[in-house]
């Protein structure tokens, strides 16, 4: 009969230990996992990526409920352990249920440190440690909360950026004089601060919080610092570090210092009880990150399964900030003290900084900011304890193997770590590719676990696959949603091959887990069917986001904004009079000229939306939709400006009207500038035009969102007709190659800007894309009522009213903010 193994803790360390045991000997134990949260196993590292809108909550689930069932694991969720009796060898949970064990693993993790100041127990004071924390923070941010993040370390900054991206106003309070003071020096910390300020964050450095102020409802109203300054906020996020969760161990009589003390094979003071992860202490050192936790999980699994294993020793790891567009690495000893000295290189032009630390002639630490391409090389030097005598001081800071990334990868030593979280080297990955005939990043992850934690090493793994296999290597696929394990490209290929014309047919044909799909895959499938079969697919209105159907954006107070079309930013007295009359009739509290050179009406009640549109009798400005003309920004041009060389306003209007209603994977923003003074901010647009003497410069792949990307010069043309031709081809290329929800710059970067430019300059390829776009334009039907002219739908208030009562993409009646 199998022995009973109980694991207290359903977090990353505990689940990894169970997975290791199942891989080694799946029939050895009868396993029970006891967790405090009401979720299956998930990747806590990626919580910040959900806040930053890089992922959604289901995307971070690592082991779903089916995994527990298939492996015969008894998962006790939302029912934490409250007591351990080492004599009787039983565990009791909050509900009073008792579980006996032969072996017990404590993976209780850690608790966030909450600053013990007056007001710390007010409502809206949270720590960012769980999915529930993240969901609550997301909700507050979406309502426009003014949030203070106390703590300018790694997790605090990741949370702060995510909250800004979700719509909050965010201030970071840090006692140290610069950010990430334990991982960065002052130079890198100040560079990071400047970059984050450009993203909208505010910083209060060298500030000590004296108290959290509350209102008469027991909610946060502000912060008070010890220097007398006060800050108005409505929410506080504590990010001041963690402390091992040792309560159970202490009450059970186990040896506990700061953490649960363990030997090098993860045994506690009781031979039948082991401990791993953030709750442990080994040789006076605590565990605070995933890499050593996973190393401990491997050791405990080997010991329990009778497998040979190496004793645990502290794991050297790199620290990286998971914020899109900001690259930094810190590893090893990074302070000049005693015999430690450093070599520094700073590139102000390219915003890059390198500092390598040396002790007694041995490389011992690194700080990189901006350019982190050599991070793995330096990290390997630190691990190997390379002698500085092998390098000239300046040569150490230069990239090895020239600038060719393939050459760099080929010359990388086999023992160089690729996946720091899981301690997987280049050699281990290549051995697995050859032995198991692996062709994908997912396959490598399943065999070696490389790339399965923070995910930053996935591009390197993909490059290793391509280096080893060439064209046989599969490109990385991103699954569309939790309803399927298939990637976007696989789904699109299947739709084409089977000529499916409805979302239901796609879900049936590809064995979707959820018969009706979810709010992530429904709009995506509807888009792909429209794009692939524009003359055959019947629009599925319920798959559209509610804002698209409303022709309005939900605001934080539950009212809506309405933005009529002003093609190319141009308007007329008649339009202005209509807008003024509507604003007066419906008591519109806010009239705003928006960034896209249109007028927005804010604070309109949902029940008034049909009447508003009826009285405006104007086209929608598509400010709520993923379309080709989400924004076309232009200066006044040569007719009015003494510097203008082209009719920028007229060209913007032609683009705006020519591509109206063409759905795209995400919003598309354009800019048309009459001269190189670039008043229309062309260089941060998806597509841009700059007028020069005798022609038009065209730019592609820019972005001005949370990640700022400078556009690349595509070509120079002589006529407006050529501008429309190039934009049309580029637009159709984007429609066909992007994943739904992906901006143009990401597709351009993935494909390679040189490849996109070469394609667009090729007459045959450009014309082929234009032909397919022409079919889509000819087949376009207003999805709201099946009417081709945009004006038509605005004449029938009864039809408009029906639009707003249509069921939403969840199958329920329309709810705010879907």
Residues annotated in the binding site for siroheme, as ranges? 679
Show Cβ contacts of residue 591 under 8 Å, excluding neighbours closer than 6 positions.
Answer: 579, 583, 599, 600, 601, 602
Three state DSSP letters for 513-544: CCCCCCCCHHHHHHHHHHHHCCCCCCCCHHHC
3-state secondary structure of 606: helix
Binding residues for [4Fe-4S] cluster: 635, 641, 675, 679
Instruction: State the Cα–Cα distance between residues 40 and 72, nearest whole angstrom.
Output: 14
What is the phi/psi pair of residue 178, to 5°? -145, 165
> Which residues, including other chains, have CB under 8 Å from residue 699's CB and lie 6 or more apart?
682, 683, 685, 687, 688, 689, 690, 711, 712, 713, 714
Whether 381 contacts 389, CB under 8 Å: no
H-type alpha helices, 356-456: 375-384, 393-396, 405-411, 426-436, 441-448
Centroid of chain to Cα 44: 13
Which residues are annotated as part of the binding site? 635, 641, 675, 679
Token pair recorded at residue 23: 């891989």
* Of 520, 613, 511, 632, nearest in space to 562 by CA: 613
Please, how many CA atoms are within 13 Å of residue 555, restricted to the half-sphere of its CB?
A: 15
Task: Give Cβ neighbours of residue 256 (< 8 Å, ≥ 6 apart).
Answer: 246, 249, 250
Q: Alpha-carbon distance 590 to 604, whole Å?
A: 9
Burial class (CB in 10 A: 0-12, 13-18, 19+), 242: middle
Tokens of 722: 């050529």
Contact 345, 356 (CB under 8 A): no
């Amino acid at each position: 009969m199998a022995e009973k193994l109980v694991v207290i803790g359903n977090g990353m360390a505990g689940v990894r230990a169970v997975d290791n045991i199942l891989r080694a000997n799946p029939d050895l134990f009868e396993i029970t996992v006891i967790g405090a949260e009401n979720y299956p196993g998930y990747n806590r590292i990626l919580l910040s990526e959900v806040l930053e809108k890089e992922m959604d909550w289901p995307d971070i689930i690592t082991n779903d409920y089916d995994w527990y069932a298939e492996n015969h694991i008894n998962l006790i969720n939302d029912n934490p352990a409250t007591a351990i009796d080492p004599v009787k060898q039983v565990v009791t949970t909050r509900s009073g249920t008792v579980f006996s064990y032969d072996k017990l693993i404590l993976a209780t993790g850690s608790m966030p440190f909450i600053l013990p100041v007056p007001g710390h127990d007010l409502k809206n004071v949270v720590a960012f440690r769980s999915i529930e924390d993240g969901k609550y923070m997301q909700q507050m941010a979406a309502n426009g909360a003014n949030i203070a993040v106390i703590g300018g370390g790694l997790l605090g900054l990741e949370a702060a950026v995510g909250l800004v991206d979700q719509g909050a106003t965010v201030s970071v309070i840090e006692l140290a004089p610069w950010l990430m003071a334990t991982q960065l020096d002052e130079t890198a910390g100040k560079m990071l601060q400047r970059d984050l300020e450009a993203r909208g964050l505010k910083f209060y450095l060298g500030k000590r919080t004296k108290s959290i102020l509350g209102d008469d409802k027991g909610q946060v109203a502000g912060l008070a610092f010890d220097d007398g300054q006060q800050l108005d906020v409505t929410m506080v996020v504590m990010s001041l570090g963690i402390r091992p969760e040792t309560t159970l161990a202490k009450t059970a009589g186990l040896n506990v210092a700061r953490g649960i003390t363990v030997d090098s094979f993860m045994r506690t003071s009781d031979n039948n009880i082991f401990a791993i992860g953030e709750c442990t202490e080994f040789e006076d050192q605590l565990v605070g990150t995933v890499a050593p936790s996973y190393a401990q999980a491997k050791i405990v699994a080997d010991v329990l399964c009778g497998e040979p294993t190496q004793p645990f020793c502290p794991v050297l790891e790199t620290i990286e900030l998971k914020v899109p567009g900001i690259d930094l690495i810190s590893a090893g000893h990074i302070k000049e003290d005693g015999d430690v000295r450093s070599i520094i290189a700073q590139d102000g032009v390219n915003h890059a900084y390198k500092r390598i630390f040396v002790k007694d002639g041995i490389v011992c630490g690194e700080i990189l900011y901006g350019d982190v391409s050599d991070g793995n090389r330096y990290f390997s030097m630190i691990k190997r304890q390379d002698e500085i005598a092998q390098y000239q001081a300046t040569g150490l800071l230069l990239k090895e193997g020239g600038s060719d990334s393939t050459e760099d990868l080929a010359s990388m030593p086999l023992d160089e770590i690729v996946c720091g979280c899981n301690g997987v080297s280049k050699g281990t990955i290549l051995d697995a590719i050859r032995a198991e005939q692996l062709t994908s990043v997912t396959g490598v992850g399943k065999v070696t676990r490389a790339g399965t934690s923070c995910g930053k090493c996935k591009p390197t793994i993909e490059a290793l696959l391509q280096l080893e296999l060439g064209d046989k290597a599969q490109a990385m696929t991103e699954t569309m949603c939790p309803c399927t394990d298939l990637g976007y490209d696989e789904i699109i290929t299947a739709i084409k091959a089977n000529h499916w014309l409805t979302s239901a047919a796609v879900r049936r044909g590809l064995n979707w887990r959820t018969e009706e799909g979810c709010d992530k895959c429904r709009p995506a499938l509807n888009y792909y069917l429209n794009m692939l079969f524009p003359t055959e697919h019947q629009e599925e209105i319920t798959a559209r986001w509610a804002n698209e159907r409303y022709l309005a954006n939900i605001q934080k107070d539950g009212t809506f904004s309405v933005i009529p079309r002003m093609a190319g930013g141009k308007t007329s007295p008649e339009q202005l009079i209509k807008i003024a009359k509507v604003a007066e009739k419906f008591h519109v509290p806010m009239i705003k000229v928006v960034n896209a050179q249109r007028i927005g009406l804010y604070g309109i009640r949902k029940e008034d939306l049909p009447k508003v549109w009826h009285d405006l009798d104007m086209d929608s400005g598509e400010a709520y939709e993923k379309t080709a003309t989400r924004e076309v920004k232009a200066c006044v041009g040569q007719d009015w400006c003494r510097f203008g060389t082209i009719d920028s306003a007229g060209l913007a209007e032609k683009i705006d009207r020519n591509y109206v209603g063409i759905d795209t994977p995400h919003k598309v923003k354009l800019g048309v500038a009459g001269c190189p003074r670039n008043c229309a901010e062309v260089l941060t647009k998806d597509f841009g035009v700059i007028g020069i003497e005798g022609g038009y410069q065209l730019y592609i792949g820019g972005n001005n969102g949370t990640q700022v990307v400078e556009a690349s010069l595509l070509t120079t043309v002589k006529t407006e007709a050529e501008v429309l031709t190039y934009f049309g081809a580029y637009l159709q290329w984007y429609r066909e190659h992007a994943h739904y929800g992906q901006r143009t710059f990401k597709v351009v970067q993935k494909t390679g800007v040189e490849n996109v430019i070469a394609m667009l300059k090729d007459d045959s390829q450009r014309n082929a894309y234009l032909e397919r776009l022409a079919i889509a334009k000819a087949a376009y039907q207003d999805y709201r009522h099946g009417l081709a002219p945009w004006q038509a739908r605005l004449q029938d208030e009864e039809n408009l009213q029906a639009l707003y009562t249509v069921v939403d993409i969840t199958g329920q009646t329309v709810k705010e903010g879907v």
